[in-house]
Structure 1
Amino acid sequence: MTSKGRGDEPDEDPGPLSIFACEEDGPGDGADDGEQGGGEGADGADGGADAGAPAPARQRRRRRGRRLLLWTLAVLLVLCGGAFGGLLWITNHYASSVERIPNAFPTVPASEQPPAVPHTGQTFLLVGLDARSDRPTTGKDAEAPAWRAGAQRSDTMMLMHISADRKSVSLVSIPRDTWVPVPGHGKAKINAAYSWGGPALTIQTVQDLTRIKIDHIAVIDWNGFRALTDAVGGVDITIPRTIEAKGDAREWLAGTHHMDGAEALLYVRERHGLPNGDLDRTKRQQNFLRALMVRTMSSGTLSSPSKLTGLLGTIGDVASVDDRLSNTDLYDLAWSLRDVRPDDVHFMNAPFGGFDTIDGQAVVLMDEGAAGVLWNAMRTDRMDAYLAEHRTSTDTLGQDVD
């Protein structure tokens, strides 16, 4: 994956982003005025202070003044726009560095796919790969394509539903060993769909399973989360009880751990030392994402231009998205979610129906009846009501995560 725009000077034209940062005109137009209409005023001021200075010195002072003006503007935009508003000023430099996935959607006739239900929010399919980078030890400079036939199976799969009113987000993990029909291949573990047919077959498999129309897909590199975790200064994760070392799995002592990227990656990958194997692993992944979100919102990252630049500079190393998701869509999505807080984001597993061994493979079974109720709630944008009714379910992520 090729990064774009990471070396850009901060006084590059911020483009259309600034018009979204405040509800009344100002910061966006003000930046233009400072660079254009305000230029004469700046020259006039220099004329008094620098009357005897050589012309090159006056020009350097004006350039420094303009850079200071734009950095000040960035801070004002953050304060004006809230947590996500700060993203809008600088996203224009980084949105294009997020790799787009072509041909990500199934080509089967629309009549064979779930119909889109108007005014019911958006649903993303998040697919996590254990390694997508040519340099997996750093998670940077990911140059390998998001999918090559037979090369990878998805390590993680989540449905992320964003409510129509943009007040809540629900993420439902489907364990990678879940036994499901894969179009054209009979029944198999759901992660095989990515190996056999990439994003398009994975979307088709999930749509057939849930009857939910997938609006967008994001392919996430877990290795890249190492850099992302370090960019926010690490995350705090509490382990409720000591987990003994087992095989290659390390010991985890009870208590709160401040994890850097390398330790967090060990935390989300491990499953052999956990009581419920892959089910507990998906909860760890959700717990990590929750901790990362809390850290990002509470560490000053979104209100510090330098921290924000470092954070966004790693996003392109972490995720690829379908080519239907334009830069403008990314801006609009970020802005629409500006009021969402960690308590508004809910995590759970798809309803668990038991373990089994099929064709010599250890698999996870889904409770199809309970899952049908969940999928209907997501399809009709009634996840808040569903979660209120199922808040005590063991499928819902709680505070105690092994």
Structure 2
Amino acid sequence: MAGPGGGAGARGARRRTVASRALLAAIAVVPLAAVGLAVFVLSGPRGGPSGSPSNGGPSPSGTPSASLADLPPGPLNILVMGSDIRGNARDAVASQESGGGVADQRADMIMLLHVQADHRRVFGISIMRDSWVTIPGHGPSKINASLSWGGPPLVAETVSSLLSVRIDHYAMLDFEGFKAITDALGGVDVDVPVPFTATFDTHHTFGPGINHLDGQAALEFVRERYAFPDGDYQRVRDQQAFIRGLIAQLVTTGRVGSPAEAAAAVGLASPYVTADPGLDAAGLAALGYGLRGLDPASSTFFTLPTAGTGLSDDGQSIVVPDYPGIAAVAEALGSDTLAQYTVAHGLS
């Protein structure tokens, strides 16, 4: 029998503590697209039949393995996308890469997550999906078209060019994965800023204040735009509100269900998630461990500046970028001074 502070029970508790902290950090930084992977990698020890931790997971002593210590110093930029394709996101991307194309695929959400250099604060910058920008290799178009033309890599290249920043990682989640992950977490409490009734699917009614949303309701909440006078602008604010609610829930509970619930989340969501090669299991584990000091409560979200709406030369309804405003954001990103930028512009 193990003595006080020793044995398998104590080692398991230490592993769960480290995993829980790393999980919170990873989910706070990649709140939608990588949450399923984060749950899978960081919710607890896994391994082969012997029960030993798998490569890249927390070691029994609670110290990081070599792969967990590899997160480089300095700021990080992670692009998160929500796809409006219904079905399997990985299969859609694979079809595109093989020349099959996914011409009907658009990005319902585009958000750049910037982690400042001390890895203690994250900023979310939403990009309006109808923003009229230059897409590398294709010319001027709505930014969400980049997903159908070149998949997540082209979206990342477009955002990188627009903001003059390096994109360190990207991840994308589609509708079904979004619903599955939300349900696997037991739903999310969201502070609804503007009450409305959804115009599609179940026509869910969202009252003012805190609403507990299951997967279907959450999907309707983050996708609705026709119920609002300012359309897509309010949809972006609602997406930000959902992410705030998700982070707040994780901070309050300190965990994401049991290991069985975590495994179920992965089984449901993994077919719908696609990410860059650096966000494999080991890469996400390194990200989560390296960001264990992150304070999710200090997260700040805002929308990339725009100059209103208009029409393109070919008659499309578009969002006109505010290029001087974007240049100021780009400068703050490049100098890692978004904290000062958001204070100066009344966003914090």
Same fold (TM over 0.5): yes
How many angstroms apart in 2 are the aligned matches of 1:251 and 1:303?
A: 27
Q: Is the 1:180–1:188 contact (alpha carbons within 8 Å) kept by the matching residues of 2? A: yes
Look up the match of 1:320.
274
**Correspondence for 2:139:** 186
Structure (1 or 2) with the larger CA radius of gyration: 1
Superposition pairs of residues 95-174 of structure 1, within 5 angstroms: 120-134=74-88, 143-145=91-93, 148=96, 149=101, 150-174=103-127
- Equivalent pair of 1:232/1:301 in contact (CA under 8 Å): no
Judge conservation of contact 1:146–1:320 (CA < 8 Å) in 2. Answer: no
Q: Take 1:85 and 1:269, find their aligned partners in 2: how far apart are those partners?
A: 26
How far off its partner does 1:365 sit? Answer: 1.1
Q: State whether structure 2 residue 13 is matched by structure 1 residue 75.
A: yes
Aligned to 1:259: 213
Show the counterpart of 1:276.
230
- The answer to whether 1:389 aligns with 2:344 is yes
What is the CA distance between 1:133 and its match in structure 2?
2.2
Identity percentage over the alignment?
A: 34
The offset of 1:218, in angstroms, is 0.9
Task: Give the drift of 1:301.
Answer: 2.8
Residue 328 of structure 2: SS of its match in structure 1?
helix
Instruction: Give the distance between the partners of 1:215 and 1:316, measured in 2 at CA.
Output: 21
Q: Secondary structure at the match of 2:226?
A: coil
Question: Alpha-carbon deviation of 1:174?
Answer: 0.7
Q: Match of 1:115?
A: none
Distance 1:259-1:273 versus aligned 2 partners, 3 A rule: same
Seen in structure 2, the aligned counterparts of structure 1 residues 192 and 356 have a Cα distance that, compared at 3 Å, is same
Aligned residue among 149, 155, 168 for 1:215: 168
Q: Which residue of 1 aligns with 2:294?
A: 340
SS at match of 2:241: helix
**Deviation readout 1:17-62 (Å, 9 max, x if unpaired):** xxxxxxxxxx9xx8xxx7xxxxxxxxxxxxxxxxxxxxxxxxxxxx
User: 1-side partners of 2:46 and 2:243: how far apart?
Assistant: 21
Q: What residue number does 2:326 align with? A: 371
**C-alpha distance in structure 2 between counterparts of 1:212 and 1:95, whole Å:** 34
Q: CA deviation at 1:126?
A: 1.4
Supply the distance in 1 between the matched residues of 2:85 and 2:11 (Cα, whole angstroms): 38
Q: Give the counterpart letter for 2:255 in structure 1.
A: T
Deviations 1:72-111 (A, max 9, x none): 7443322356522692644779999xxxxxxxxxxxxxxx
* Offset, 1:348: 1.0
CA distance in 1, matches of 2:17, 2:157: 42
By how many angstroms is 1:144 displaced? 4.0
- More displaced 10-residue stretch of structure 1: 310-319 or 120-129: 310-319
2:152 to 193, 199, 202: 199
Residues 351, 371 of structure 1: 8 Å contact kept: yes
Contact 2:121 2:296 (C-alpha < 8 Å) held by counterparts: no
2:303 is the counterpart of 1:349: yes
Query: 1:122-157: CA deviations, max 9, x gaps?
Result: 1112121023524x9xxxxx6443662224122211
2:178 match: secondary structure: helix
Structure 2 CA distance for partners of 1:284 and 1:199, relative to 1, 3 Å: same
Q: For residue 235 of structure 1, what is the amino acid of its counterpart?
A: V
Provide the secondary structure at the position in 1 that maps to 2:331.
helix
**Amino acid of the structure 2 residue aligned with 1:158:** M
The offset of 1:313, in angstroms, is 4.7
- Aligned partner of 1:48 in structure 2 is none
Aligned pairs, number: 300
Q: Distance in 2 between matches of 1:147 and 1:123?
A: 27
Q: Which amino acid aligns with 1:225?
A: F
Higher relative contact order, structure no. (Cα contacts within 8 Å, ≥ 6 residues apart)? 2
Taking structure 2 as the reference length, the TM-score comes to 0.75
Matched position secondary structure for 1:294 = helix
* Helix, strand or coil at the partner of 2:206: coil
Instruction: Please give the alpha-carbon distance, in whole angstroms, between the structure 1 residues aligned to 2:20 and 2:198.
Output: 43
2:245 counterpart letter in structure 1: A
Corresponding residue SS for 1:176: coil
Contact 2:310 2:320 in 1 (8 A): yes
Residue of structure 2 equivalent to 1:233? 186
Structure 1 position 352, deviation (Å): 2.0
Relative to structure 2, which stretch is displaced further, 217-226 or 74-83?
74-83
Instruction: Give the distance between the partners of 2:275 and 2:197, measured in 1 at CA.
Output: 38
Looking at structure 2, the residues matched to 245 and 80 of structure 1 have their Cα atoms a distance apart, in angstroms, of: 40
> Which stretches in structure 1 are left out of the alignment for 5+ residues?
1-26, 35-68, 97-117, 137-141, 397-402
- What whole-Å deviation, never above 9, does each CA across 1:202-235 have from its counterpart, x for those lacking one? 2222222111111111122232121111122111
* TM-score between both structures, scaled by the size of structure 1: 0.66
